[in-house]
Amino acid sequence: MSGPLDPRTDPDVDLRVPADRGELTAHPGAVLTTIAAGGVLGALARAGLQHAVPHQPTGFPWATFGINLNGCLLIGVLMAVLGHVGGGRPLVRPFLGVGVLGGFTTFSTYAVDVQQAVVAGTPATALAYLAATLLGALVAVWLGDAVAARLLDRFGRDGGRAAR
């Protein structure tokens, strides 16, 4: 992905390291509240978009497809940014990554949409949606991480002033 990460960026990677447990042990209530608040915001944004762009069971679920791909792109960007700036703010990742983007993306609705398309007699749509979402989500995470990491490496924390 984008290179070596600050060991504090993702504290659930190795809970045997005391510094990596800091986010969970220091304020477990704050972490859970932060995730819940972010999840509400992400889910409301998703629900609004799905309401604005409805689809028939036999049609392609463009809203869910776009939500999941954009959410994955933003998860990739977030990974790169947190890897670049480090884990100095322990509630940013749970709020944005697990909460907002976790609530925004909806792979459970994706599975239901695929099942409904099959039941509605459009297995080709179901298969296309299944494959496009899987491939698109992986590409979106990679692309978000790669582009953000490149921009961060180029412009850095000083906004690129040092490169001039």
Is 109 annotated as belonging to a binding site? no
Residue 120, helix vs strand vs coil? coil
Instruction: Tell me if 145 sits within 8 A of 151, measured CB to CB.
Output: no
CA of residue 15 relative to chain centroid, distance: 22
105 is in an annotated binding site: yes
With H, G, I as helix, E, B as strand and everything else as coil, classify residue 95.
Answer: helix
- Count of alpha carbons within 13 angstroms of residue 159, beta-carbon side: 1
Which residue intervals of 86-122 are DSSP H helices? 92, 102-104, 107-119
Q: Which residues are annotated as a binding site?
A: 102, 105
Q: Would you list which residues are annotated within the binding site for Na(+)?
A: 102, 105
